A and B are shown apart, each in its own frame.
Chain A
Amino acid sequence: MRRVSIQLQVNNKSVKAVCPANATLATLLREHLGLTGTHVGCDTSQCGACVVHLNGVSVKACTVLAAQANGPEVVTIEGIGSDKLHPMQQAFREHHGLQCGFCTPGMIMSGIDMANRGQATTEAEVRKGLEGNICRCTGYHNIVQSILAGAGKMQSGEGA
């Protein structure tokens, strides 16, 4: 397999890596950069456990080739709350929006993206927005509450 060298910004740090040309962004993050907060839960781009932000927009890291991410800015779950928790992280904790924690990074990253797009204002909107994220533990009830609350906090600047 041909190897490619990649340079990109991950969580505000400039990083370089050499990886196989067919490596996904998820593989790059997990295997080459040791950022294991981005999880892989399926092989068909359905579960959303691997959602990260690429140039500020949520993408499934299993669906983007590492080579495609050459240059841009990637933010993962490890990069959203520097000194203190991001308001969306806080909301997930306060509203019991997670159980086993495996889908959680993807849920939080999707939630932030929805809030950034102003599409986390009603329960129906959040439920629709979570179309690409599967959780098997929570029944989504508390995830929806968390995202609504987190988006509210982001809006008001609280905890940011």
Chain B
Amino acid sequence: MADQSIGQRVLRKEDARFIAGKGRYTDDINLRGQAYACFVRSTVARAGIASLDLTAAESVEGVIAVLTGRQIAEDGLGTLPCGWMIHSKDGNPMKQPAHPVMAADSVNYLGEPIALVVAETYQIARDAADLVVVDYDEKQAVSDVTLAQAHDQLYEEVPRNTVYEWELGDREATMAAIEGAHHVTRIKIRNNRLIPNAIEPRAAIADFNPATEDLTLYVTSQNPHLVRLILTAFIQLAPEHKLRVVAPDVGGGFGSKIFVYSEETALSWASRRLGMAIKWTAERSESFLADAHGRDHYTEAALAMDDEGHFLGLHVKTQANMGAYLSTFASSVPTYLYGTLLAGQYKTPAIYVEVDAVLTNTAPVDAYRGAGRPEATYVLERIVDVAAGEMNLSPVEIRRRNFITNFPYATPVALEYDTGDYVQTLDRVLELAEWSSFEARKAESESRGKLRGIGLSCYIEACGLAPSQVAGALGAGVGLWESGEIRFNPTGSVTVLTGTHSHGQGHETTFAQLVSDRLGVPINDIEVVHGDTSRLDFGLGTYGSRSIAVGGSALATASDKIVEKGRKIAAHLMDTSPEEVDFEGGVYTARQSNLNKTIQEIAFAAYVPHNYPEGLEPGLAEKAFYDPDNFTFPAGAYVCEVEIDPQTGVVTIARFSAVDDFGNIINPMIVEGQVHGGLAQGIGQALLENCVYDSNGQLVTGSYFDYCMPRADDLPSFQVDLEVTPCTHNPLGVKGCGEAGAIGSPPAVINAVANALGVRDFDMPATPEKVWRAAAGS
């Protein structure tokens, strides 16, 4: 048992199927008699639809139906909702255009679905889709976030193309701090737009049963219950009890599979309308066009300091690109997941943040790994580095002078950090990165004609958005608790049901480890079930690094309930009182007599209650709903060292060191893997990835030829280590680890690049051309 307990590097249970090619992803599922769908997508970014001619497509042999946005509207289906209400400074609710499932009268971004061709094979559907003739009445599109507010209005209901003008913090105090400061550092900074690119493209199969009127939807989702809720409550597709949503093995999400999209909605509607199962799998080109994108901010920030570099005030003004419509959680990303993080690890007394969310003719933008927190960290960790230069302080010293050291700490931007040790995390990473001997390595690089730079970033993250009541007060349309259920089977094995969803995170192992540790049952006797609304009551899914902190805590609570019920049964069987029974390592022991019973024996007794406590219900299965008291606050310090070839502008990551504090760790192997992946995405953003639309709203980076994904030879091996300050308010002391790498790494890389080049400002991504120009100019 010892090798399976909490804190051990237990190999993953789920790997058995994945390494054998036996995973079951949505596209691997085929239903008898299924038809195939292909979407007709807008080829322009902004236009009225003057006419739609389906004749040629409909006449293709093998085409079953060509369905349109107008038909969806006529069938009374709702529009796609945004689940978080934000209010502007003036108190008005955000303004949003209706987000049709498929366009009927106008299109507002390239790739917006217009019609759905259903056919006997995918090939036929795809060929027929090309025959749908759309007559566009084109208008000038806008794609750049900084140009949107001055562009002509895209929607009647959204003046100045501005969804909201949100603020947080104390404006007066911040402005006063800036006015009276010894020095103010100012930066203008862009956070480049990204395309998530989970390697499994989105897919869905909708299967309506005309006999029972049940609809089953298989979909690549991070939160199947949320999909069911939204399809029912907002789109009126089917009653909740008639809708089953299954998210089987899912090949990566990174946020992009949280949302309810047009495709699975239209497909479900079509399945009901035609009375047949229909399958759709995105081609990668469709992922580029129509998955929700990430980031895309323009920010101006000012940091006020006294003569010793102590932070006095921070003012941040951001324009955030929402794309053409508000995706499921889009509105929360540049507000409560961004502005609230701007204190970072520092005791800045006054902070004021303003965010204008704007609409453009681009794909909707929503949460992508980190969601708001990488944007906040990038602003803060860049301005702190620039400030260090202007104050003649080292990047390390300016941070040390401003670290929060007393916990709990209430920030001026609405959060209360429960715990952390930022000094220790920093010290550890400086040691790991051999910061003190950097100059020698720099000299060595210079001897070879190369530039070398080092960059530091100290991030804070807020995970497990909570509690529900607070989230509700801030505009959330859903609760943010999680559910867990633990069922002992009569023969002693355990079925664990969780409302979170694993799409790479290894929950089948981590949660089994957690339950094994709590109940003393071997891991191989534990099955973790997730991703099917018919198997568990409700759950909110996986995003925001919430699974272990919220979902894990629910399972811990359910485990505790199991132990307590079992104690009553054990006491009865051992002829003593529950208070006299100890439980450890899966065994109940009567303190007086030293009799004992295994939990498996107790489970059997609970299902075969021949000799059983009077009045106690049979069975050994317990549920828990866990609503956290607070967010958790992982934090860490990253050091990136780059070498630049000034002849070519190529940036090589020479070393990358990360020390993260995720609280208690269940499985360090899995946690390190999460950090590695996050780092790769953050380094990708800093060096390679960039989503580009031209001024007509055409997507320039629409394939892997143009959108530069990080590959193995773009990245180094990482040095990662963990610091532990347990979370103070959940039963496991855990904080969450899924997004940290993507949050902390971009500023570390750019700080290193700027350091190497000796420049103050440098925008992501640091492509060879930009770096070469900067190197040539310096």
Contact = CB atoms under 8 A, between A and B. Distances in A.
User: 9 nearest interchain CB pairs?
Assistant: A37-B21, A102-B251, A101-B18, A139-B680, A100-B504, A77-B21, A99-B504, A139-B676, A46-B704
B673 A138 contact: yes
Given A96-B669, A136-B197, A37 B22 contact: yes
Q: Name the residue in B19, B669, B677 with the highest tally of chain A Cβ atoms < 10 Å from its Cβ.
A: B19
Contacts of B676: 138-142
B385 interface: no
Contacts of A139: 676-681, 710, 715, 718, 741
A108 B677 contact: no
A151 interface: no
Interface string A70-96: 000000111001000100010011101
Given A1-B123, A37-B22, A101-B23, A130 B713 contact: yes
Contacts of B711: 130-131, 133-134, 140
A126 B11 contact: no
A17 interface: no
A128 interface: yes
B430 to A, nearest CB: 22
Interface in A42-76: 42-44, 46-47, 49, 76
A124 B652 CA distance: 13
Contact of B504 (A38, A137, A143): A137
Interface stretch (B85-93, B198-206, B223-231, B756-764): B198-206
Interface residues of B, number: 56
B250 interface: yes
B717 A144 contact: yes
Contact of A85 (B19, B28, B679): B19
Contacts of B679: 139
Nearest to A146: B19
A39 B251 contact: yes
Nearest to B201: A41
Contact of B252 (A81, A99, A128, A144): A99
Interface string B1-29: 00000000001101111111111110110
Given A1-B123, A92-B15, A131-B711, 17 more contacts: A30-B28, A36-B24, A41-B201, A46-B704, A93-B19, A99-B506, A102-B252, A105-B21, A108-B19, A134-B709, A136-B198, A136-B254, A137-B199, A139-B718, A140-B711, A141-B718, A142-B676
Contacts of A35: 21
B12 A93 contact: yes
A119 B451 CA distance: 31
Contacts of B669: 96
B21 A127 contact: no
A28 interface: no
A35 B20 CA distance: 11
B503 interface: yes
A73 B285 CA distance: 31
A100 B252 contact: yes
Given A1-B123, A93-B12, A101-B504, A140 B704 contact: no
Contacts of A76: 21
A135 interface: yes
| A contact residues, range | 35 or more
B262 interface: no
A152 interface: no
B703 interface: yes
Nearest to A42: B284
Nearest to B28: A36
A140 B21 contact: no
A103 interface: yes
Interface string A105-130: 10010000000000000011011101
B215 to A, nearest CB: 24
Contact of A96 (B22, B27, B670, B703): B670
Nearest to A126: B712
A3 to B, nearest CB: 12
A55 B677 CA distance: 34
Interface string B23-63: 11101100000000000000000000000000000000000
Contacts of B15: 92-93, 98, 101
B704 A100 contact: no
13 contacts: A39-B25, A89-B20, A96-B11, A96-B669, A99-B505, A100-B198, A100-B199, A100-B249, A108-B19, A127-B713, A137-B252, A137-B504, A140-B712
Contacts of A126: 712
Q: Report whether over half of chain B's contact residues are helix, strand or loop; otherwise say mixed.
A: loop
Contacts of B123: 1, 20, 22
Contact of B20 (A41, A44, A77, A135): A77
A139 B717 CA distance: 9
B285 A41 contact: no
A30 B28 CA distance: 8
Interface string B281-293: 0011100000000
Contacts of A124: 713
Interface string B483-509: 000000000000000000001111000
Contacts of A89: 19-20
Contacts of B18: 98, 101, 104
Nearest to B717: A141
A110 B211 CA distance: 47
A47 B284 contact: yes
Given A101-B14, A123-B717, A128-B713, A43 B285 contact: yes
Contacts of A43: 283-285, 703
A142 to B, nearest CB: 6
B21 A130 contact: no
A49 B672 CA distance: 23
A143 B199 contact: no
Nearest to A90: B19
Interface in B172-210: 197-201
A47 B704 contact: yes
Nearest to B249: A101
A102 B25 contact: yes
A8 B715 CA distance: 39
B251 A78 contact: no
A133 B712 contact: yes
A82 to B, nearest CB: 11
A101 B505 CA distance: 10
A83 B23 CA distance: 18
A140 B714 CA distance: 10
Contacts of B197: 136
A123 B755 CA distance: 28
A18 to B, nearest CB: 14
Contact of B19 (A22, A104, A137): A104
A44 B673 contact: no
A58 B201 CA distance: 23
Interface string B416-448: 000000000000000000000000000000000
Contacts of B717: 123, 141, 144
Interface in A3-22: 20, 22
Contacts of B200: 39, 41, 100, 102
Contacts of A93: 11-12, 15-16, 19
B705 A44 contact: yes
A110 to B, nearest CB: 10
A15 B134 CA distance: 44
Q: Name the residue in B20, B199, B672 with the highest tally of chain A Cβ atoms < 10 Å from its Cβ.
A: B199
A38 B21 contact: yes
A43 B703 CA distance: 8
A127 B681 contact: no
A78 B198 contact: no
